[in-house]
Structure 1
Amino acid sequence: MTRLNLIDHNLCGPAIDACETATFEKFAQAFHAALVGSSFVPLGGMHDGGADGFQEQIFESSARASSFLQASKTEDFEGKIAKTIKRLRDFGRDPKVITFYFSVPVSTADQIEERFTNKEDITVRIRAKQYIETHINDNENTAQAFNSYLRPSITHLMEVGGIGHNREFPYESKTLCAFLGQELNRRRGNSSLLTTITDGLILWALEGTEPDKKIFMSKEDLLAKVEAAIPSARYFVRGVIDDRLAFLSSKTNPNGREISWHRKENVYALRFEERQKLINENIEEEGLFNSITDGIREHIRPLLTSKLVSLIPSITDIVHSCIESIFYRQGMALGLFIVDGPDENADTINMVDIISSKIDQLGLNASDRATAQEAVSFCLRKIIYAPNRHEHDYMLRLCNTYFILFALKNEPKVVEYFNSLSERLVIYVGSDLIIKAISEYYLPEQSKMVTNALHVIRKAGATLIMTEPALEEVFTHLHATTLEFEHFYSDIEIYIDEDFIPLIDRILIRAYFYARLGINTGKKAPAGWKSYVGQFCNHDDVRRKRNREGLRLYLCDRFGFEFEAKDLILKSVDRDDLSKLTFAIVAAREGRFSKGVQATKLAYNDALHMLRVGARRREDGDNSAPNPFGFKTWWLTHEKTVQRAATIVLGANRPRSIMRPEFLLNYIALAPSKREVAESYSTIFPTVLGVTLSKRANPGVLHEVLKSAREAFSTDNSRAKAKLNEFIDKLKTDSLRIYENNITSI
């Protein structure tokens, strides 16, 4: 093995700590086989009612009788050794040699080995964390075991900005494939789902209101309650809340008027009939939830010692909390298993780490801890693998709720994935987006769509680049806009009213008049046009078309742009391709743009950007190896003609270079944070709300999610990773998709 293939010892320890138990088990099997040449299979096979992710597997040698292996992430390594020996004998095995791999350092390994060997007449071998670190580079296969199973858990450490993000789990290609697949299929947007969910959340939020008792809720309080429950609802609910409140309180509602609007106080409440209906539904749902809770108590009571009976309420809460954690960490695998029945997806559900961390909260001694952990494991196995009618109904409803959250991007793996994607992006920002961002200067902070999107991705670690040609176009646009204002608007400025503003074709002039009239502004109105332009650069310089440097410095500082000179770009692109693409763009735009020198110059600049993206990708080795994020370098613009011209001139097989701005807005800038998603899961799944939301599931959307999930989970991991690469680049460039939140094109 050459030095180039050596594993950095500084990565080995963090990778062992970061991986989950199931992954550590697979690593230990591969690592051990690489050292001694023997292979192991799960003891008793799968689906034996005692394993399936609820405790660490014991592996039996396929070549040597009575030889076994176990990998564990427990701190109680002596207790684990004793328990494993007993379990093997309970299985009717006569163990002679057991090798234990522990993810923690064991400083007294020799003494523990000797004690158990003498006591049990079994050769016990301990391979702890320090042993793995010492032998990780013994041969190519030990290194490959690390690369296959441990490296994915610390991928973020090898990316710029990755350290300190506290990732909780490595990416799951199949779950992400399921998400991206259904997003690509749903080209027409989420309007029906969002309407259904919004109505359901409004009715849920208004529970407890009662006009006779003067208990009402304002729109602001209603929004706060909804957004706390489902953070990803923040943006789409605010966009439709007024329409949905009007609809639900209207006689034209096919379901009848469901809420009442008290106009004078501008507050809302449920109507009497709707309150009665919800009361009946809540009674049914509370009854289901309580029957599940009572069943949990009955499952665990016989397994507890008299000493632990008093902890039944706490252990019952832990079971509910574990169900929440399964959905948070492994929701798609669990959902498919519950909906489709037993299949290979059951093997992907791993509960060891979850149960162990929850039991830690009880602060029990080793013996009582083991008893409580077994009780929780048994109960969860019963609910998931052998449920009664009520338990199956309960889990099915929670699965439907999870599928809703999944479709709404309120899913931890989805949020984590797009956060990580944004860290590595290199974005050439188009002049149209820069002008749009400038026009947002006087808007309230929450309305600055482009500005906020650029800020979010830059804060996440993306590199934003403004080229010299883009700066030229922005400066020229400001110059032309200033002249137009002087010639057509300066003399009639006092007569411009709100109704006339939308008829103005220049975005900066429209933005100026909205600011002057105080319409949707977050700052004090500008004193005049000269003052308005002066916010960005020197007005006289713009008017005389000189000194672009002031504008460059302003834009680079305000938006965090790096600047790339035209000479550098020209050195990197093929001049032949540049010429052909320029004239192809001019021809494609004929009839939409004025002809002549200016049209050719704009086409030339666009061709430069398109070719520069390809050149930068080659320079960086962008996407030269499979990765879950696709290409990192893109041109961010609303321009569509350039891509069509490039396809004709440069070939249909050339990768696309233009990222649609709405992709960044909807999947990154407006996405909830990981913390918000975690809090929403703890609010939804252990409560009646999780059961209630399942009724709001749109059958069509659920069908799309399940279809994509089944396709994703039917492939192996290598194929899923390849599809993930393909899907994400398609989504970045999808020009036909309808989004709930749009950046208006200029």
Structure 2
Amino acid sequence: MGGFHDGGADGALDDRLFEAAGTQKFMQASISAEPKAKIRKTLKRLREFGRDPKSLMYATSQKLPLIDQIQEELSDELDCRIVIRDGHYFQHQINGTPGALQAYKSYVAGAASYLDGVGAADTIPAIQGLPAKTLCVFLGQELDRRRGKSDLLEAVADSLILWSLEGTDPDKGVFLTLKEIEARVIEALPSAKTFFKGVLPNRVSELISKGDGGRKVNFHKKENGYCLPFETRKRIREENVEDEALKLQVSEIFRNRASENASLATDNSSLIEQCIAICHDVIHKSYHAQGLEIALFLEREEGSDSDLPSINDVLDQAISERGLAGKDAGLIAQVCLSILRGTYYNSTKEERRYLRKLSRTYVLLFMLKNEPRVVEYFRSMTSNFNLYVGADLIVRALSEHLLSKNDQMTKNALKLLKAAGSQLILTDKTLDEVWHHFRTTHLEFINNYQDVQNYMTFSLASQIDRILIRAFFYAKIERASRKKEPFGWANYLGQFLTVTEIARDTARGELREYLIHEFGFTFEDEKAMLSGIDPEQLYELAATIQKTRNKKGRDEASEEILCRNAALTVLRVYQRRKIEGERSGGNPYGFKTWWLTQQTRVQNATGPLIAKEGSRYMMRPEFVLHFLAALPSAKAVQTSYDRIFPTILGVKLGNRMDESAFKRIISKAREVYDDVDHSRAKVLLANASAQLQSDFLKRYEDSSFFSKV
């Protein structure tokens, strides 16, 4: 370990002992089942060897109860700051730092290389201490948002609207427009962007109607703005005063406990104030690290034996970030542990109110994905896929070509997946479908629109069912309105292939290479697609799909080709999963291999096959849009978190959290945390992830975006 040496004392001790040169700080690694005796023996021997230890970090594979009490007891007894890291700590932190990962690669990976061939497909990038139970709760409430089950997040949206309107006052001419409400919420909660934009208009309309309890929001037509009614504004002003006072009361409780602590002199006001600040830091950081677990602990039933999640590492981090070291750091750590033990286990009514408000704020952020661990889970997921991209999605992405970068939603989503490490696959048959779509679209334009194109309006263009023609006219009209150079149909299609050669194989080849370069597709020919596929099963499935689709009026030969292509893609997904060893429940991100498309009618013909395979094969495009492409950066979420929790905003947001919504999340969380162990939670997480990715019944706020091409 860099910067440490054993100082010659290791020979007299049974386990590895390291000293940070010149600091009187030691670290010991041990497997002893008696940690107290081991630590006492270590310090005795160090002093016999002439050392003057000021702190000892004791690392053990044993899992110890009540670590904070052991640390405090031994620190007082031995006049040395004792920090213990046990098996629980390492279980959750082992993948948590670059140093730990590098140590694995340098010292363990080689010895464990024989495992590479055993279930290798499930060896995936690990999240830092994958919070499987927390993620199970999140995915569970997302799956509940199916038909008729969206009231939970509607309550959250209402809470955010009311919070954003705080400070409005018609007497002072202070109103907010819909855009301003949206901007205020998204600035505070970047992860809420897609969800909130989708529900804002409808939820505001509900709030200004006279429902149960009266109108909750007023709209002033003349000012074209929204504000809170007088009674609501009055109540919020009172709440704000109470919240400010509540935090001051909690600080005073901390101050009194610190002053009564025998370790501190009563006149040591500087250290006491530092203890108060660090206690607040620890509370806020604990929600960041394990917010749902803390909320569950605070909402435990009377007589419950649930334990508070460990806060020792959070305390060390808080002390370190304030630049404290040496004797003062050890003293402050002991006092803060004593204060917080009282806060969590023998709290005053003020502390309970304060913590419960913070818990409600955390759950609100959690439900909106504004939680670092949830964001990191979905960010890691983007590198996990092998996606056979459907022709419908490719055509939609190409139709966005002339939109602004921010509006190229399908195109951006595909590029994000590729950049993150997922494999996007363009098959021989999918290319044929896209090429065919170009050819038929070109003929339709020549026959039906070429002679009237100069008379086209936005209103008329919106009624055209061919997405490429519709996109062309939107672009043409928009360019004309800005007095830009005229734009023709040949120019438009010429961005992708040579229009004069559109019916020739050369145009097909050009289109293939354009798609590969633009989106990073991996091309898979028909021979690779057919590998391992039973011809008879392919024929029967294609016939079933054709019968189910029942497309009357379409050329029968073309319909047979499309149905065979669909059947081949379905079977290829299952075949590739078998080849790569993908198992149900084996990957916390769900299956790796999917068909990404909106061709939902195919699913009506494949029920028996899905039942036989035990899993679905089609990923819903809205899932990619909402959960992967719309993710804010980790920095944005962290900034949001740091802005909310250390300030009074963290308490105020809790006031806006719908109580019934909070109770339902806590109830779901308790079911998972009380009844499911960590290994089972990983399996449930994998299954829930696969279900969410393929759920075509789930309600999305703007699901009409992916209407069929």
Q: Secondary structure of 2:307's partner?
A: helix
1:335-354 aligned at under 5 Å gives the runs: 335-341=295-301, 343=304, 345-346=306-307, 349-354=309-314
Contact 1:663–1:732, Cα closer than 8 Å, also in 2: yes
- Are the structure 2 counterparts of residues 592 and 699 from structure 1 closer, same or farther at C-alpha, using a change threshold of 3 Å? farther
Q: Which of these residues, 580, 589, 598, is aligned with residue 549 of structure 2?
A: 589
Relative to structure 1, the CA distance from residue 528 to residue 228 in structure 2 (aligned partners, 3 Å threshold; closer, same or farther) is same
2:163 maps to 204
> Cα distance, 1:382 vs. partner?
1.6
Give the direction of change, closer, same or farther, for the CA distance of 1:463–1:344 in structure 2 (3 Å limit).
farther
Structure 1 position 90, deviation (Å)? 7.3
2:293 maps to 333
| 80-89 vs 289-298, greater mean Cα deviation | 80-89
SS in 2 for 1:275: helix
**Counterpart AA for 1:638:** Q
1:339 Cα offset (Å): 0.9
- The alpha-carbon deviation at position 666 of structure 1 amounts to 1.6
Which string of whole-angstrom CA distances, capped at 9 and with x for unpartnered residues, describes residues 627-676 of structure 1?
31221111101122333433335753343211111111121111233222
* 1:503 counterpart SS class: coil
Say if 1:314 and 1:542 are closer, same or farther in 2 by CA, change over 3 A. Answer: farther
Is residue 179–residue 708 contact of structure 1 (8 Å, CA) maintained in 2? no
Higher mean alpha-carbon deviation, 211-220 vs 653-662, is at 211-220
Measured in 2, the distance between the counterparts of 1:188 and 1:555 equals 36
Compared CA separation, residues 354 and 525, structure 1 to 2 (3 A): farther
Structure 1 residues 384 and 247: alpha-carbon distance in aligned structure 2, compared to 1, 3 A threshold: same
Q: Is the 8 A contact 1:333 1:345 kept in 2?
A: no
Secondary structure, aligned partner of 1:340: coil
Amino acid at match of 1:239: G
Equivalent residue for 2:340? Answer: 380
Relative to structure 1, is the Cα distance of residues 256 and 619 closer, same or farther in structure 2, using a 3 angstrom cutoff? Answer: closer
The correspondence for 2:55, drawn from 76, 79, 93, is 79
Task: Figure out how many residues of one structure are paired with residues of the other and give that number.
Answer: 635
**1:740 aligned partner, one-letter code:** E
1:597 CA drift (Å): 0.8
Contact 1:593 1:599 in 2 (8 A): no
Q: Which whole-Å deviations, capped at 9, do the CAs of 1:491-523 have from their partners, x for residues lacking one? A: 222333333333322122222222222299999
Q: Matches of 2:481 and 2:426 in 1, distance apart?
A: 27
Any conservation in 2 of the 1:190–1:740 contact (CA below 8 Å)? Answer: no
Q: 1:610 to 1:525 in 2, by over 3 A?
A: farther
Quick one: which amino acid aligns to residue 87 of structure 1? E
Aligned residue for 1:736? Answer: 697
In structure 2, C-alpha distance between the alignment counterparts of 1:85 and 1:529, rounded to whole Å:
76
Higher alpha-carbon deviation: 734-743 or 465-474: 734-743
Pairs within 5 Å for 1:248-267: 255-256=214-215, 258-259=217-218, 261=220, 263=222
- State the alpha-carbon separation in 2 of the partners of residues 726 and 523 from structure 1: 54
2:398 alignment counterpart: 438
* Paired amino acid for 2:55: G
Q: Distance between the aligned counterparts of 2:305 and 2:446, measured in 1?
A: 71
Task: Provide the residue aligned with 1:576 in structure 2.
Answer: 536
Structure 1 residues 609 and 653, CA, compared in 2 at 3 Å: closer, same or farther? Answer: closer
| Counterpart-to-counterpart distance in 1, 2:40 and 2:216 | 72
Aligned partners of 1:299 and 1:434: how far apart in 2?
64
CA contact (8 A) 2:259 2:266 kept: no
Partner of 2:372: 412
Q: Quick one: which of 661, 672, 684 aligns to 1:712? A: 672
Q: Is the 8 A contact 1:425 1:632 kept in 2?
A: yes
Where do 1:510-529 residues align within 5 Å? 510-518=470-478, 527-529=487-489
- Paired AA for residue 553 in structure 1: E
Equivalent of residue 511 in structure 2, options 537, 551, 555: 551
- Structure 2 CA distance for aligned equivalents of residues 620 and 134 of structure 1: 24
| Amino acid aligned to 1:671 | L
Hey, what's the Cα distance between the residues in 2 that align with 1:525 and 1:400? 56
Q: Is the 8 A contact 1:260 1:268 kept in 2?
A: yes
CA distance 1:679–1:480, change in 2 (3 Å): same
Q: Tell me, in whole angstroms, the C-alpha distance in 1 between the residues paired with 2:71 and 2:575.
A: 61
Give the TM-score normalised by the residue count of structure 1.
0.76
CA contact (8 A) 1:637 1:660 kept: yes
* 1:294 aligned onto 2:257: no
Cα distance in 2 for residues equivalent to 1:477 and 1:647: 28
Q: CA deviation at 1:302?
A: 2.8
1:494-509 map, 5 Å: 494-509=454-469
Gap change, CA 1:680 and 1:534, over 3 Å in 2: same
Q: Report how far residue 314 of structure 1 moved.
A: 3.8
- What amino acid is aligned across from residue 428 of structure 1 in structure 2? Y
For the pair 1:187 / 2:107, whether they are aligned, the reply is: no
Relative to structure 1, is the Cα distance of residues 675 and 365 closer, same or farther in structure 2, using a 3 angstrom cutoff?
closer
Take 2:621 and 2:299, find their aligned partners in 1: how far apart are those partners? 36
Return 5+ residue gaps in structure 1 as ranges.
1-24, 33-37, 41-57, 70-75, 104-128, 148-154
1:483 CA drift (Å): 0.6
The answer (yes or no) to whether the contact 1:425–1:633 under 8 Å persists in 2 is yes
Matching residue of 1:530: 490
Distance in 2, Cα, partners of 1:86 & 1:700:
40
Distance 2:466 2:402 in 1: 16
CA contact (8 A) 2:138 2:366 kept: yes
Give secondary structure in 2 for the equivalent of 1:664. Answer: helix
Percent identical pairs in the alignment equals 36
How does 1:157-236 map onto structure 2 within 5 Å? 159=124, 169-188=128-147, 191-210=150-169, 213=172, 217=176, 220-236=179-195
Q: 2:371 matched to 1:392?
A: no
TM-score normalised according to structure 2 size: 0.79
Q: Does structure 2 retain, via aligned residues, the 8 Å contact 1:327–1:402?
A: yes
1:447 to 396, 407, 416: 407
The yes-or-no answer on 1:276 pairing with 2:252 is no
Q: Distance in 2 between matches of 1:211 and 1:274?
A: 13
Matching residue within 641, 652, 656 for 1:681: 641
Q: What is the one-letter code of the residue matched to 2:253?
A: G
Q: CA deviation at 1:101?
A: 8.1
2:680 maps to 1:722: no
TM-align CA RMSD = 4.0
- Between stretches 595-604 and 544-553, larger displacement belongs to 544-553
Aligned to 1:505, what secondary structure does the other structure show? coil
Q: Which residue of 2 aligns with 1:113?
A: none
1:429 aligns with 2:401: no
Alpha-carbon distance in structure 2 between the residues aligned to 1:298 and 1:99: 25
Deviations 1:296-353 (A, max 9, x none): 2222233333674124444323222211111111011111111124656525x12111
* Offset, 1:80: 2.5
Partner-residue secondary structure (3-state), 2:462: helix
Deviations 1:344-389 (A, max 9, x none): 6525x12111111111233334211111111221222222222111
In structure 2, how many angstroms separate the alpha carbons of the residues matched to 1:237 and 1:523? 36
Counterpart selection for 2:428 from 440, 447, 468 = 468
Closer, same or farther: CA 454–693 of 1 in aligned 2, 3 Å: same
Structure 1 equivalent of residue 63 of structure 2:
none
> Residues 105-120 of structure 1 correspond to what in structure 2 (within 5 A)?
none
What SS class does the counterpart of residue 458 from structure 2 fall into? coil
Aligned pair in 2 of structure 1 residues 206, 680: CA closer, same or farther (>3 Å)? same
| Correspondences of 1:609-620 after superposition (within 5 Å) | 609-620=569-580
